[in-house]
Structure 1
C-alpha cells in the first residue's frame, strides 16, 4: 500500500523509484521477451493529424457527403456530357438542314423550328424549347457557363481576400487602418445591385469589345467577363475580413515568434506559416460563396444582363420558358430544379466543412 501511494505521489516529470522485487522482474522479462518490451506496445498506433480528424468528421456528415456527390455529378456532366451526348443517336432528316446526325441536332445552338416545345423523347431526352433546340444540350451548356463564372469569381475573391487580409492582419498599424477602411467602403455596395448597375452601363460596350474574342465573345457570352468582374468586386471583402481575423491570431503564436527570432523574413513567414494555416477558413468560405455566385449569375442572366441569345445559361433558360409555365412547365422546372440542387449542395457542403474543420462553430 505504501509503495503504491508513493508512486502515485510522484510528479509526472520524474521517474518513480523501482520497487519491484527480483522475482517479479524475472517474471516480467519472461513475459515480455528478451528485450523487456511487449511486442504489441512497440507498435504504438500513430495518432491522426488534425487534418485527418477533420476529414473523418466530414465523412460522418451524411448531408455533406451526399451534397459532395451531387456536386461532382453536376461538375462532370457539363464537361463530359456534351462529347458523349453528341454521338448518341442516328441520322435524322431535318426539314431545315436535311440529313443531320446527333452532332448537329444535339448542338445547344441548333434550331429546328418545326419541332418547338416537344416533350422528352428518344431523340431529345429532355425535349425542345420554343425554338426547337435540345433542352438537355442547352442545360449542360448553361451549367458549364455558371460553373466557369463561379470559379473565375472565386479565384479573384481568394487572391484579393487573402492578400488584403494578410497584409492588414500581419502588419497592423496604418496598413490595417487603411485596408480596413477600404474594405468597409466595398462592403457599402449592395452586391447584386452593383452588378446590375455595372452590367447595365457597360454591357453594350462589353458586347462590342469581347464579341470577337474566341470562347469569351462567341454565342452571346461577351458579358460574362463583365459579370465576373462585377461579382468579384463585391465578393472579396468578406473573405478579407475572415482572413484578417485569423491572421491576427496566428501572428502571435509561438511558431511565428520563433521564426522571427531566427531571422526569417516576413515574406517567408507569411508563405510558410500564415498561408497554410488559412486553408480551412478559405476552403469553407469558397464553398459557401460558390452557391451565391452561381445564383447571382443566373439572376443577372434572367434579367437580361448576363448571357445573351443565342447563348445558354440556367437563368436565361428560366427566363425564356417563364411564359410557358401553364403549357410546358417542364421547360422551366428542369433548369430551376438543377439550379436549386446546385446551390443547396454548395450550401450544405460548406456547412459540413465548417463543422468539420471548426467543431466549435456548432456551439
Structure 2
C-alpha cells in the first residue's frame, strides 16, 4: 500500500506588490508607495507575506539621516515585522510554506558578540519589512511565539530583543535583583515584563502619573512619576535601602538620574537616546567614574538571544503592548503618530 502526503496549501502570490521606499535624510515626507514586481526567492531565501510591522525610534533616525550604521539608498524601511511564509528557495530547511515567522534584524548575527562583519541589517543596509511581500534570508527567521498575533509578534525583533539583551547580555539577570526601566516605549515596557517574568523586582520610571498607573497594572513593583519627582534616582535609592538598582535600562541617554539610581558594580544598559546622535547630551566622566557602575552599549541582539527571549515569552504568556494599529495605506500617518504622540507601547502597521 502506498500513502500520499497531504498537499501543502500554497497561497496564490500576486505578480505585483505594494512597497514603501525611503531615502536617508529625506524625512517622513520622503516615504513613497510603489507597485513593484513581487520578488522570487533564490537559494537560502524565503518570501514572506508581511502581516504586520512595528515602528521604533530607529526608523525616525534613518529618515532623519541620523542613524549610525550604513543605510542603503532607495530603501524598503522598517526592521520589525511578522508574517507568513509563502515560498521558499533552494537549500531552505528550517522553515516551510505556511509557517508564521518573524525575522532577526541582523540576519548573520547568529550568536556570540556583535562584530562589524555581521552588521548588515534589515531596514538599513538591507531592505526591510514595509512591503506586502518581503524577501528574507532563511537563516534570519524565527517562529512567532505561540499565543501572539502578528501585530504582537511584529513588536519583538528590535524592542523585544534589545530589552532582552539589556537584561541578560552583560552581567546577567538574577532572580531577586532590581531593574529600573525608564519610559513607556516598546523597549522599556518589554524590559519590565521580561524582568518581572525572570523573577526580578521592577521599578518603572514614567513620564506622568497616568503612565505610572498603567505600569503598575503591568506588574511593576514600584513606579515613579518623574514629572513629580525629577530627581528620581534618589527615589530609586530610597526604595532599595540606599543600595541602588542592579540594572538600569537607559533608553533616553545616560544622565544624572541614571547614574544616581544604579548600584556600585551594577549595570547601565545604554540602549540609545531619544535625540538625534549629534544632539545627545554629554556624559559627565567624573560622575560616571564615581558611580562605580558598568555602562554597556548594545545593538539589539543576536538570533540566539531572540530565540531565548521567545522561550520565556511562550512560557510566561507575555504579550507586547500595542498602543495603536494603522492600516498599510496609512503608513505615513503611523510614522507621524509615532513621532508626535509619545505612545504607551508600540505603533503597528497591519497588512491584513
Give the TM-score band, short-chain normalised: under 0.3
Bigger helix fraction: 1
Which one has the largest radius of gyration? 1
What is the TM-score with the length of structure 2 in the denominator? 0.21
Bigger strand fraction: 2
